[in-house]
């Protein structure tokens, strides 16, 4: 959708208010789960935790409607459950998704679910699958950096977090902010 793309450009330019408006319009017109979650993250970043929670509730309702109709959201559901719901459910959805749709995005989401349940060694192996083609993806690198940090691999964690920021510091302001905070923590720990 053009409004969602426009909002991403506005985020990259630092025009958060315009991006919020355009994502709100995009979600109102076509409430695709990915748009709803993107809007929730933008609201969280902009300091509107209630607005973000409201959008996550919309996603939860969509998730239930899709499931009732036999549709699984795969990656969106895995990441949502890992961060805002049940990490154990995220693992279950991730395992099922890997059987039917073993895409790179699925491996990354599964790695994140493994991390969120405390299985960081398994998460690193799943992250290896997500990155095995050499795909340059900021979210994959962010997830891998956090996983490596949990494993105590501070040098590789910092390298992956820096790469995530180089790849996409503007379009995902919430994770970029978290990556910067983690890098600052790593630099203080040295």
DSSP letter assigned to residue 85: S
* Domain parsing of the chain, residue ranges: 1-71
What's the pLDDT tens digit per position in 42-61? 999 889 999 999 999 999 99
Residues 6+ apart with CB under 8 A from 148: 124, 154, 156, 157, 160
Give the CA distances from residue 158 to residues 75, 83, 150, in Å, rounded to whole numbers and listed in that order: 25, 22, 12
pLDDT (tens digit per residue) in 107-120? 999 999 999 999 99
Written as six digits, the tokens of 6 are 């426009």
- Whether the CB-CB separation of 166 and 186 falls below 8 Å is answered with no
Q: Is 115 helix (H, G, I), strand (E, B) or coil?
A: helix
DSSP string, 153-170: -HHHHHHHHHHHHHHHTT
Q: Indicate whether 190 pLDDT > 80.
A: no
CATH architecture label of 1-71: Alpha Horseshoe (1.25)
């Amino acid at each position: 959708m053009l409004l969602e793309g426009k909002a991403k450009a506005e985020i990259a330019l630092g025009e958060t208010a315009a991006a919020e408006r355009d994502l709100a319009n995009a979600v109102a017109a076509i409430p695709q789960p990915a748009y709803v979650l993107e809007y929730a993250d933008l609201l969280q970043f902009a300091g509107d935790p209630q607005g973000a929670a409201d959008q996550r509730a919309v996603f939860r309702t969509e998730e239930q409607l899709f499931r009732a109709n036999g549709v699984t959201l795969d990656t969106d559901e895995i990441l949502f459950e890992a961060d805002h719901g049940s990490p154990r459910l995220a693992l279950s959805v991730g395992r099922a998704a890997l059987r039917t749709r073993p895409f790179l995005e699925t491996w990354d989401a599964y790695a994140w679910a493994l991390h969120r349940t405390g299985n960081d060694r398994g998460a690193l192996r799943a992250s290896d699958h997500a990155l095995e083609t050499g795909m340059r993806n900021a979210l994959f690198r962010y997830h891998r950096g956090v996983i490596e940090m949990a494993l105590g691999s501070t040098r590789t964690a910092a390298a992956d977090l820096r790469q995530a920021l180089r790849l996409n510091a503007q379009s995902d302001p919430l994770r970029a902010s978290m990556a910067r905070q983690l890098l600052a923590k790593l630099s203080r720990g040295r």
